[in-house]
Amino acid sequence: MQIVIDIPDDVYDECKGDVYFPDTGGIVWEGVRNGTPLPKGHGRLIDANELCEGRVSNDTVVIAAKCASTIIEAYKAESEK
């Protein structure tokens, strides 16, 4: 399962570190509880705001979307990995 969560930057930094901070567990738990599950079969996720700045036509946006940086890769089923 892939899920998007919102947690404070300092909690993220603590989670990425080598030391466990007990207080962060509850914040991460709440982040997961309130997170947004991504549907199976989703395409790659990109930052649409990055694309729309200064764009004038739909064709330009479509081309830019194909070249945009990927934030989360497209879903792959276990059998496809």
Q: Please check the confidence at residue 55 and state whether its pLDDT lies above 70.
A: no
Check pLDDT > 80 for residue 12.
yes
Q: Cite the beta strand spans of 1-81 per DSSP E.
A: 3-4, 36-37, 45-46, 70-72
Q: Poorest-confidence range of 53-57, 61-65, 66-70? A: 53-57
pLDDT mean over 64-74: 74
Same domain, 26 and 49: no
Same domain, 11 and 31: yes
pTM of the complete model: 0.54
Question: What mean pLDDT value characterizes the chain?
Answer: 75
Given pLDDT bands bounded at 50, 70 and 90, which one contains residue 10?
confident
What pLDDT, on the 0 to 100 scale, is given for residue 80?
53
Residue 26 domain boundaries: 3-37
Using CA atoms, how far residue 79 sits from 74, 75, 76, in Å, is: 14, 11, 8
